[in-house]
Amino acid sequence: MTNTLQYPWQQEKIIAHSELIIQNYYYWTGKKLLDIKGSPLEISKALFEAPFALLSHGHEADPIYNYGNQKALELMEFSWREFTQMPSRKSAEVILQQERDNLLKQTISKGFSHFTGIRISKTGRRFYIGDGILWNMLDKQNQLCGQAAVYSKYQFQ
């Protein structure tokens, strides 16, 4: 018998990260990311199953994804395990990585940014993102610990 949980949103670390995502989104935008009440586990589940794509990466020199909800995983064509081991730069084609890097740097100084762009899935499918929001993630000590993005408008090319 194993103690492994079936879904990422059930993990204590992801439950806490989900709360941080929601709090930071509200802090930067003044808007609710998800209008739900319930236990932290229920909120984590709702965020994971939300109809929009939501993802985040850490603040490493080469940031690694540390969260992707079900919609983001489907669009990117990755499993949770694969996604959370991947540098986030690999979601953009090499020729578009400078544009993506500029957006990340700009957001660090501003707090949050609206964006559009082209991303690629694991199998090389390109999709256009419209009306995205990228925001800084601050930890409990108010220190930058990564960035998160949300979007619901996308179209495969």
Least confident of 4-8, 14-18, 34-38, 89-93: 4-8
- CA atoms of 135 and 97, how far apart (whole Å): 18
Total domains, the chain? 1
pLDDT over 70 (residue 3): no
CATH number at residue 100: 3.30.450.20
Residue listed under structure tokens 């709090």: 23
Beta bridge partners of 115: 132
Residue 12 lies in a domain: no
Residue 3 lies in a domain: no
Per residue in 91-119, pLDDT (tens digit) is 988 888 888 889 999 999 999 999 999 99
Residue 4's pLDDT is: 54
Contact 137, 148 (CB under 8 A): yes
Task: Write out the residue range of the structural domain in which residue 91 sits.
Answer: 52-156
Residue 34 lies in a domain: no
Residue 102 lies in a domain: yes
Residue 118 lies in a domain: yes
Residue 10 lies in a domain: no
Q: Bigger pLDDT: 93 or 17?
A: 17
Residue 93's pLDDT is: 87
Residue 67 lies in a domain: yes
Per residue in 35-90, pLDDT (tens digit) is 999 999 999 999 999 999 999 999 999 999 999 999 999 999 999 999 999 999 99
Q: Give backbone dihedrals phi and psi of 154, rounded to 5 degrees, phi first.
A: -155, 155
Sign of the Cα pseudo-torsion (141, 12, 80, 70, in order): negative
Residue 28 lies in a domain: no
3-class secondary-structure state, position 78: coil
With vertex at residue 140, the alpha carbon angle to CA 134 and CA 145, rounded to the nearest 5 degrees, is 40
Task: Fill in the DSSP letter of residue 38.
Answer: S
